[in-house]
């Protein structure tokens, strides 16, 4: 459970998630004003945290490998 919130997203992917999250979240306030726009919170939070719980469950890691 300690690795559940470990960073598993590439920095570029994080930026894309934050931008997409803000864009989707804006649909709740601007445009069609649909409650579905609140789903934008999910990519926004995963982008800010740098950890995707679904990636952890499936075993995906897009974070670059640290060189030793």
Dist CA 42 CA 35 (whole Å): 14
Give the pLDDT confidence of 8-55 residue by residue, as tens digits: 999 999 999 999 999 999 999 998 899 999 999 999 999 999 999 999
Domain ranges within the chain, ordered by starting residue: 2-58
Q: What is the pLDDT of residue 17?
A: 97
The band of 68, judged by pLDDT with boundaries at 50, 70 and 90, is: low
Mean pLDDT, residues 49-66 taken together: 88
Dist CA 5 CA 23 (whole Å): 24
State pTM to two decimals: 0.86
Dist CA 35 CA 65 (whole Å): 39
The band of 67, judged by pLDDT with boundaries at 50, 70 and 90, is: low
Dist CA 9 CA 50 (whole Å): 6
Residues contacting 39, CB < 8 A, separation 6+? 24
């Amino acid at each position: 459970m300690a690795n559940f919130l470990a960073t598993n997203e590439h920095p570029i992917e994080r930026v894309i998630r934050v931008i997409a999250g803000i864009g989707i979240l804006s649909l709740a306030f601007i445009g069609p004003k649909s409650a579905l726009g609140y789903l934008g919170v999910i990519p926004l939070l995963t982008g800010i945290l740098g950890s995707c719980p679904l990636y952890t469950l499936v075993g995906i890691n897009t974070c670059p490998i640290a060189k030793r």
